Structure 1
Amino acid sequence: MFYIFDWCGNFDYFSENPEGIGSSNSMSLTERLFSLRLDIAKELQSANHQEKEFDKKLHDDLKVLLHQQVRSIVKERKDARPYWGIIEPFRDKDRWTCLSEEDVLKLKEIGKLIPKDSDDESAKKFDVIMLHLQLALINPEVHAGQFKQVVVNIASHLEKKGTVPIVMARINTIRKVQKPQFWEEESLNGLEYVRTELRDLIKLLEDTRKTKKFIIDIDDPYEMVETIGDSVIQTSYKQRVIDYLAKNTDNPTLHKIQNFEQLTSADFAELERIFFEELGTRKEFEELAEGHPYKNNVAAFIRVINGIDRKKALQIYQNFINDSNLTSEQERYLKNILDYVSVNGDIETKSFMEYPLKMNNWRGAFGDHFIQLKDFVKQIHRVIS
């Protein structure tokens, strides 16, 4: 026999609440930053950004950091084991070359597993603000809400601390962000510079934290809409599409798109019904597809969101060349084609004359197999046209 002295009333509590206390759904700062950086890196994959020196460098730096964070999750952690099927593929550096929407969605599932670093909490809160502003600048679906005014307010409070040497060392940046001209000429380069210049100064504002709010609560899968009062949260059309594709992985038509199989007229009609009626309207789709080469082709749009089966694509090409061995240069060029399809959703032979594919010496690399390469590209286009 033994006695149990239940001073805290655990037996009474769990007899009424057998499931215990539900876990909180709030995101940590580390998870929020991981999610924001994923979204920014995904947006910067487009040719428009890859042509710009700063944008490309920011893209590369973000992916190096994100890859390191994923690799820091060890298999020995009990909470990581259920997600190891997601984690392990992304431990490979090459897996980060071109992220699809589905990749980003999967990676966000493991954001809560990213180890917390020793960085100052107030600096990370400022990072959240600045990264959200960066994302809003490059993604028209994301709105910055009142974040610009928050940055102006922070700079105003910092300027009052001119007796602190580190403040005076960065006073030009502090004054610059308070001027309307900075926000009228807003740039990715400028926002990143402000983030790195001011993040370490936010801890100096602890004495103002009682009266001024610098803590931001962002729910990343939603769209922040700027209003006069508080921000209103509503699900975006793009997010509804991503959710639908994630929940319907067994759909036969989606399998055809993934595996480069020929779509029928019935397949196209069903896709348009889902995207133009069930998930939203044709106008919403056209607004989301504006500026992209796939235009109103829903199947090509799905390729961009879900990615493509690269192994299947390379197998198709091998069939064209009768299983001949590829040179390292040919492998690299084929990878460029698949990256192009992942970003743009489709490809045609005329794409060889456009940036970035025109930079490669295709005829020199493939020689007698160049005709088969063109047939391969035609098949990738034909199955969804």
Structure 2
Amino acid sequence: VETQLKFLEEGIHYDELNEEEQALYEETFDDEMPDFISSQALNSWLFNKDTVDKVLATLMEKGIKVEGGDKLGKTIIFAKNHRHAEFIVERFNALYPEYHGNFARVIDHYVNYAQSLLDTFAGPLNLPQIAVSVDMLDTGVDIPEVVNLVFFKKVMSKAKFWQMIGRGTRLCPDLFGVGLPKERFLIFDFCGNFEFFRLKIKGKETQVAPSITERIFNIKLELIRKLERFAYQQEPHISYRNRLVEEMIGEISRLNRRHFVVKRHLKQVEKYSVKAAWEHLGDLDLNEIKEHLTPLIIPSDDDEPAKRFDHLIFTIELGELLGKNVNYHKEQVVKTAYQLSKLGTIPQVLAKQELIERVRTNEFWHFAEISDYEMVRKELRELIKFIAQEAHAIYYTDFSDEIITTQECPGEFRVEDLQDYKKKVNQYIREHQDHMAIYKLKHNKPLDKKDFMELEKILWGEVGTKDDYFKEFGDTPLSILVRSIVGLDQMAANEAFSEFLNDQNLDSKQSRFVKTIVDYVVKNGIMERRALQEEPFESIGSIVDLFPTETAIKIVSIIDSIKKNATEVGA
């Protein structure tokens, strides 16, 4: 159901409002009255009651019902931001007081006990029946009972759009009674998303953004890793690393090990709840933690501006350790200090006047070290919310909106019809290179049985079916296909052939031959022996003519071992 609302399409024009609404408009905006409010402003800093009310009325009237048509089926409303989500629920409760505030709930990363709310929503007989979400339910959540999806925001990524639609494609037997399974679902699009992609606009190929909690956890993880270097084995770096480790262990230890989601990753939870596991973190450790633990971390009760300031300072600290240019991020801190300097009437801000003024000087940044950055972070983080309150006024209005058009497109809608299997496989593999099995294949690490099972789960379960796979790729092994898509990491390839790449005794042709092999496996992932007799190798020369027999055998064995790591279960 594609519905165009006037304000969401054209914005709000003062001249087009009736006399009573114009008076309300003037009163609302006072001295800074704009002649026009763009559609982008709606649900960002201006929230209009009638716009939301019309969306909810359309859903309640036309949405798929269950329980003999008496109750709206499970529904996900994709909201633009947290404030928008809260306003939607507020308006629903005002319009439908008979549900006593339990029928619709906000479920996103900003609410307390979000995972518990999600678990409750997933229960077929539980309320809420409507989940209003910002990002949290866009992907990766399987609730078969969902029959209505409401797009109340624009989606710029085509891949993400299809993933969001995927929330409605899960089969659900007996949903409408014994022997009456779920055979269809409805999509309500109020923001022109279908039109956007129907025009064959590719959109912005963005991955689902991780939450601020996940980003902070991961950057602290990187800090711990970098602080292992010889250069930082003195105070205050040692104490700082130890404190970060304790914080990470604390966050992991707080996970509820009886929760079904946590149970799936219990091995990693137990492993990294012990301090000994943090003495040295290798690449596999980092990827294991990011894949299995980062998504589980419970958001703290700190306000969002404080968390964003934490992330900004941590980014500067990591950049300093890596020798990267972080001048832009430092400028953001200076701008923040400047904004705080204008809030001297707030006692908490005034108490930090000396530090705020010092942070604005070039001298501070010239001599500052990690301990100084940490001091700034701790002292100022609780003040950032005062800036956020000043950033942009929020307005709530009640102007009469108008439904311009409503177009219903009947027929079964399946995600599988939207994008052919081969494209979905390529897209998934390229976007999930931090998945442990995919990471191992890219970095020439041996696979275990669990890795092969994970690949089957992904390619034969999540992305499509086993039949889809064999129709498209025949008997190509799963691991070989993945390696061919992601290729081989350059450093991993260099390491495999390091003996020859570092051999100063090789002549120019031998050196060129080896470097060509490295380039080949980086691009293609694996290499068959017969490729050595074809271009681009043939024009360089035969391996048996260029190298002594023993050396040629060793080169071929390395080529074979790279393929072996992608096809056989490691020891």
Which bin holds the TM-score, normalised by the shorter protein?
0.5 to 0.7
**Partner of residue 193, structure 1:** 375
Q: Normalised by the size of structure 2, how large is the TM-score?
A: 0.37
Change (3 A) 1:248 1:32: closer
Alpha-carbon distance in structure 2 between the residues aligned to 1:191 and 1:252: 35
1:165 Cα deviation after fit:
2.7
**Partner of residue 144, structure 1:** 326
Q: Decide whether the 8 Å contact of 2:232 with 2:238 is kept in 1.
A: yes
Q: Decide whether the 8 Å contact of 1:40 with 1:135 is kept in 2.
A: yes
Change (3 A) 1:210 1:250: closer
1:150 Cα deviation after fit:
1.4
**Partner of residue 293, structure 1:** none
1:45 Cα deviation after fit:
1.0
1:18 aligns with 2:209: no
**Partner of residue 244, structure 2:** 62
Alpha-carbon distance in structure 1 between the residues aligned to 2:281 and 2:496: 29
1:96 Cα deviation after fit:
1.3
Change (3 A) 1:151 1:91: same
1:31 Cα deviation after fit:
1.2
Aligned length: 242
1:121 Cα deviation after fit:
2.0
Matches within 5 A, 1:174-323: 174-210=356-392, 247=438, 249=440, 254=445, 268=499, 279=522
**Partner of residue 337, structure 2:** 155
**Partner of residue 165, structure 1:** 347
Q: Decide whether the 8 Å contact of 1:130 with 1:191 is kept in 2.
A: yes
Higher relative contact order (CA 8 A, sep 6+): 1
1:13 Cα deviation after fit:
4.4
Percent sequence identity over matched residues?
A: 23
**Partner of residue 335, structure 1:** none
**Partner of residue 82, structure 2:** none
> Which SS does the other structure have where 2:210 is aligned?
coil
Change (3 A) 1:118 1:274: farther
> Which SS does the other structure have where 1:146 is aligned?
helix
Larger Rg: 2
1:143 Cα deviation after fit:
4.9
1:115-143 Cα shifts (integer Å, max 9, x gaps): 12222222111101101111111013x55
Q: Decide whether the 8 Å contact of 1:155 with 1:178 is kept in 2.
A: yes
**Partner of residue 102, structure 1:** 284
1:40 Cα deviation after fit:
0.5
Alpha-carbon distance in structure 2 between the residues aligned to 1:95 and 1:177: 37
Q: Quote the RMSD (CA, aligned, Å).
A: 4.0
Q: Which amino acid aligns with 1:113?
A: L
Q: Note the residue ranges of structure 2 that are not aligned, 5 or more in a row.
A: 1-66, 76-145, 150-164, 171-184, 188-206, 394-430, 447-494, 502-513, 524-570
1:176 Cα deviation after fit:
1.4
Matches within 5 A, 1:29-40: 29-40=212-223
Q: Note the residue ranges of structure 1 that are not aligned, 5 or more in a row.
A: 212-239, 256-263, 281-311, 313-385
Q: Decide whether the 8 Å contact of 2:257 with 2:263 is kept in 1.
A: yes
1:115 aligns with 2:298: yes
1:6 Cα deviation after fit:
5.3
Q: Normalised by the size of structure 1, how large is the TM-score?
A: 0.53
More helix by share: 1
Alpha-carbon distance in structure 2 between the residues aligned to 1:114 and 1:252: 27
1:103 Cα deviation after fit:
0.9
1:273 Cα deviation after fit:
7.2
Alpha-carbon distance in structure 2 between the residues aligned to 1:59 and 1:108: 18
Q: Which amino acid aligns with 2:221?
A: L
